[in-house]
Amino acid sequence: MLDTGYDGLADWLLVVGIGILGVALSPVAEVLIAKQLPRLGGLPTPLARITTSVITGFACAAFTFRFGIGVELPAFIFLAVLGVQLARIDIEHHLLPNPLVLALLTGGLLLLLAPGIFHQQSDDLLRAALGALILFAGYLVLGLISPRGIGMGDVKLAAPVGLYLGYLGWSQILYGGLLGFILNGVVTAVALSRRGRTGPTEVAHGPSMLGAMAGITLFMP
């Protein structure tokens, strides 16, 4: 919760500043991704780049409002920058590249080590690791049962999603996992109503997973 008065103004300036940082980091991430993964076809369209930057900036500002200047903030800034890129790529290409998913998992784990070490919160780290395993295993079972509904990219993305949700708490893992499917169902229903039942109905599931994780992080205590 932000304070009022001078301290409150300082906090708001911090939130805005980190949001601007997110806007600046987004195109940097896009350039690096385009160089490392040329099969994606280079940089996205200008409209997509602007939209991605705005969403990234908003996410960074929201996470700063949520956590303040804490040791866990860099991990969630990293999540905002790379998570938005993954959502964009999944929407555009129906693809969640392994290098990016692995980077989100390993980078998130390394950055979450800091709060665990300095605050002596080993339980949070253990829960985060278990959350990654639990959500990955759950998605793997669903992917094997219904490969048309859950792709292997979604299964792999479940690991970093579970990592972040697990760091926050057991309830966050449960509700975050469920909310991802609810959001995807809503998006699919909207897509069906717009395209008609005779059109293609494939909807990327990754953005719903990432959106649910962000929502749970920001709004669930």
Among residues 158, 133, 129, the alpha carbon closest in space to that of 143 is found at 158
Q: Give the pLDDT mean for 35-54.
A: 96
Confidence of residue 6 (pLDDT cuts 50, 70, 90): very low
Give the side-chain half-sphere CA count within 13 A for 76: 30
Please give the DSSP secondary-structure letter assigned to residue 72. T
CA dihedral 135, 140, 145, 150 (to 10 degrees): 80
pLDDT, mean over the chain: 91
Buried b / exposed e over 25-39, threshold 16 CB at 10 Å, is bbeebbeebeeebee
pLDDT at residue 199, rounded to an integer: 54
Alpha-carbon span 135 to 140, nearest angstrom = 8
pLDDT in tens, 190-211: 888 876 655 556 789 999 999 9
Tell whether the model's pLDDT for residue 56 goes beyond 80: yes
The answer for residues whose C-beta is within 8 angstroms of residue 205's C-beta and 6 or more apart is: 90, 149, 150, 151, 154, 180, 184
What pTM, to 2 d.p., does this model score?
A: 0.92
